[in-house]
Amino acid sequence: MNNETKKKVLVLLGSPRKKGNSTILAQEIAKGAESVGAVVETLYINGMDIKACQGCWTCQEEGSKGCPIDDDMQTIYHKLIEADSWVIASPVHWFNMSTQTKLWLDRCFALKQYGENPFQKKIGIAMTFGDTDPFTSGCINAIRSFQDSFRYVGAKIAGIVYGSALNAGDISRNTDLLKTAKELGKKLGKY
């Protein structure tokens, strides 16, 4: 199977820590996808120029060519469209997804202008939080935000993995969660 026929999985890392816990989960998902022959590309969105949505609605106007903000999202839009599946990884910051992830998610509002059905993807979500509980930590708030956003545009969440880990690397001790993440990757790599 050549790269043109292999499934493409795009991983978006929304943590400011390059070696953080949500990144470790995303890497396990990527390993699972690669193990079934998928091509995986990873973007560290904290290091990219992604400006906040300005609420101008230009992207929603008839005949629009998409978002008018000239930043790295212009490249990301095309990568999102080309991919068969997406993985979004974020730590919980202040009871929701990280700011970096929220900036990206808000700008996806313009995505429909870049393709016929850009949201017809399977999506995997990886979340980590410092508390011991997904409810009191705010992880559930982030998951609900993803669920509501993707339901609104008709995208399908293929799976969600999440776990408690405060210090960088702590999640690597949760071997059951890492196995679950890898299985999610295999699922995404077959779509």
Q: Where do the domains of the chain lie, and which CATH numbers do they carry?
A: 8-190 (3.40.50.360)
Digit-coded pLDDT (tens) for 55-80: 999 999 998 889 999 999 999 999 99
pLDDT at 96 over 90: yes
pLDDT at 171 over 70: yes
Burial state string for 133-156 with b = 16 or more CB within 10 A and e = fewer than 16: ebeebbbbebbeebeeebeeeebe
Mean pLDDT of 12-39: 97
Q: How far is Cα 154 from Cα 157, in angstroms, rounded to an integer?
A: 10
Question: What is the reported pLDDT for 111?
Answer: 87
Residue 172 buriedness (CB in 10 A; 0-12 / 13-18 / 19+): middle
Question: What is the reported pLDDT for 154?
Answer: 83
Digit-coded pLDDT (tens) for 139-148: 999 999 999 9
Give the model's confidence band at 2: pLDDT under 50 very low, under 70 low, under 90 confident, else very high.
low
Rounded to two decimals, what is the model's pTM? 0.94
Question: What is the reported pLDDT for 113?
Answer: 77
Secondary structure E strands in 81-180 = 85-93, 96-97, 122-129, 156-164
Question: What is the reported pLDDT for 4?
Answer: 67
Give the model's confidence band at 107: pLDDT under 50 very low, under 70 low, under 90 confident, else very high.
very high
Q: How far is Cα 16 from Cα 25, in angstroms, rounded to an integer?
A: 15
Burial state string for 4-28 with b = 16 or more CB within 10 A and e = fewer than 16: eebbbbbbbbbbeeeebbbbbbbbb
pLDDT at 118 over 80: no
Q: Are strands 122-129 and 85-93 parallel, antiparallel or unpaired?
A: parallel
Q: How far is Cα 75 from Cα 92, in angstroms, rounded to an integer?
A: 26
Question: What is the reported pLDDT for 114?
Answer: 74
Q: How far is Cα 174 from Cα 178, in angstroms, rounded to an integer?
A: 6
